[in-house]
Amino acid sequence: MPANLQNKLKLLLRVPRLTRRRMMCAMAIAVVADGAQLLLGPFGWVFLVQAIDVIAAVLVSCTLGFHWLLLPSFVVELIPIVDMLPTWTACVAAVIVLRKKERRAAIDV
């Protein structure tokens, strides 16, 4: 694999330090995304709702770092009735909990 591609992949998969500000920002992004989807979903604005999903995925990944748990949330949002559930909020909460566990485990070692 070329070095340039490896550097870009490392940058994408890096896990930033989990701060209170990052957690609050990620939760705000998730709540706004879920709220917007809840309001716009019944009107049939499919492409706008999907754009919100893409934006939410990118912003949360930038804020908390990429986590594999974000992918199923993105896919679940494409399913018609299920997309009304607050999946982004639940996913961000789960990622925060997992990141805190990882940090505690790294400190304990």
41-65 pLDDT, tens per residue?
Answer: 766 676 888 888 889 988 998 899 8
Q: Which of 9-13, 17-21, 78-82 has the highest mean pLDDT?
A: 17-21
Average pLDDT score over residue span 22-34:
95
Listed by start position, the domains of the chain span 18-108
Residue 79's pLDDT band (cuts 50, 70, 90) = confident
Would you state the pLDDT for residue 16? 81
Buried b / exposed e over 76-94, threshold 16 CB at 10 Å, is bbeeeeebeebbbbebbee
Q: How confident is the model at residue 91 (pLDDT cuts 50, 70, 90)?
A: very high
Q: Are 56 and 29 in contact (CB under 8 A)?
A: yes
Q: What percent of the chain has pLDDT over 90?
A: 29
pLDDT above 70 for 12: no
- Quick one: tokens of 85? 């559930």
pLDDT recorded at residue 80: 73
